[in-house]
Amino acid sequence: MKKILMISAMAASAGYFPHGSLWAAGDLPSKFSGLDSIVNTRHNLTQNTSGISTSVIMGSYRNNYGEICVYCHTPHGANDAIAAPLWNRTFKGNTYTTYDSLGTSTLTSEVHQPGVQSLTCLSCHDGTVATDSVVNMPGSGKYSAAQKTSQNDSFLNTWTNESGPDATVHLSMKEGECLACHSSEAGFLGAGAADFRIANIGTDLTNDHPVGIAFPQNRVGKDFVDPDVKSSKLAFYDSNSDGKASKMEVRYYSTGSVYRVECASCHDPHGVPKNGSSGTLIPMFLRVDNTNSSGLCLTCHDI
């Protein structure tokens, strides 16, 4: 216990937290190994490679589809209400409180509502949609077009878990739902559920690094680094010089007129191996490791 507290205090004083300042006094390490691919990360919502007894603990609160990609993608019948790759999740079209409403005097670029490459993440991390709210369930022929824009629990209830009890409620990542177990001292230290409060970003983005914000071209050479490649869809820092946007490369997403920062500028939700191909993944689904030399921040900022 003492050791956990000490480590978290050290981490809290060593760094800048891009998503708010809430820091748990002590948290549990992940049971996932964090090796090789998404299979061994927290984005594997089946939890079936972590040694967690999902059948007993989590079964009643979210459908266990037994597959990993399906919580986000489907090969057929994808959600065409949002221009995200073969997207299988409910897209509610929420309005967000953007970073600029905080009113810092330093910000120069205009901030817009989050783009698609942020809305995909927010479909779980804003806590308004259940993590298992999909349009097309795997291998079952169970499909609901209405699920594209609203969460229908009776449709979700038709799923039979492959092991353990069937889900009777479909929780989202917010207070009183997933966080009912994944937050309180009793919850996370007592029952063994890690603290997920900081991942519950909500719809107020004023304490998060701005997204939906344009790359300030006029600050290149002053305090911003110019991306190596600018295409019609992306601008990116081509660290391996192959002319393509590789997963370990930070990018901006084009809106036609400007390039913007979105969640996926800094993060790859599938995980990025440190050595480029296999082995240990960079923590926090980051594209560039930010430990020691702040390599991620300094890819864009030249401060």
Spell out the residues 6+ positions from residue 26 whose beta carbon is closer than 8 angstroms to its own.
1, 4, 5, 8, 189
**Distance of alpha carbon 220 from the chain centroid:** 29
Contact flag: residue 259 with ligand HEC (CB under 6 A): no
User: Which of 115, 104, 96, 113 is CA-nearest to residue 202?
Assistant: 96
Candidates 17, 35, 36, 238; binder of ligand HEC (CB under 6 A) is 17
Pick 62 or 148: Cβ nearer ligand HEC: 62
Candidates 189, 193, 235, 272; binder of ligand HEC (CB under 6 A) is 193
User: Which of 236, 264, 232 is CA-nearest to residue 249?
Assistant: 236
Candidates 233, 244, 274, 301; binder of ligand HEC (CB under 6 A) is 301
User: Which of 142, 13, 6 is CA-nearest to residue 77?
Assistant: 142
Q: Assign 119 to helix, strand or coil.
A: helix
**Listed ranges 55-63, 75-83, 142-150, 151-159: which one lies at the site for ligand HEC (CB under 6 A):** 55-63
Q: Tokens for 194? A: 């890690």
Minimum separation from the CB atom of position 1 to ligand HEC (A): 17
Minimum separation from the CB atom of position 142 to ligand HEC (A): 18
Given a contact cutoff of 8 angstroms between Cβ atoms, the answer to whether 50 and 25 are in contact is: no
Pick 121 or 156: Cβ nearer ligand HEC: 121
Q: Please report how many Cα atoms fall inside a 13 Å half-sphere around the Cα of residue 84, on the Cβ side.
A: 22
Q: Tokens for 91? A: 């897209």
Give the x-and-dash track for 31-50 against ligand HEC (CB under 6 A): xx-----x---xx-x-x--x
Pick 135 or 211: Cβ nearer ligand HEC: 211
Minimum separation from the CB atom of position 45 to ligand HEC (A): 6
Question: Within positions 198 to 237, which residues make up the interface with ligand HEC, using CB under 6 A?
Answer: 198-199, 201, 208-211, 213, 215-216
Cα separation, 292 vs 97, in Å, equals: 32
Minimum separation from the CB atom of position 273 to ligand HEC (A): 13
Question: Within positions 270 to 299, which residues make up the interface with ligand HEC, using CB under 6 A?
Answer: 270, 284-286, 290, 296-297, 299
Pick 192 or 243: Cβ nearer ligand HEC: 192
Question: Within positions 158 to 177, which residues make up the interface with ligand HEC, using CB under 6 A?
Answer: 171, 173
Given a contact cutoff of 8 angstroms between Cβ atoms, the answer to whether 129 and 118 are in contact is: no
Candidates 73, 90, 136, 272; binder of ligand HEC (CB under 6 A) is 73
Tokens 């708010």, located at residue: 20
Cα separation, 170 vs 150, in Å, equals: 13
Question: Within positions 80 to 99, which residues make up the interface with ligand HEC, using CB under 6 A?
Answer: 84-85
Minimum separation from the CB atom of position 268 to ligand HEC (A): 7
Question: Within positions 98 to 127, which residues make up the interface with ligand HEC, using CB under 6 A?
Answer: 104, 106-109, 117-118, 120-125
Kind of pairing, strands 259-261 and 234-236? unpaired
Contact flag: residue 261 with ligand HEC (CB under 6 A): yes
Q: Which residues partner with 161 through β-bridges? A: none
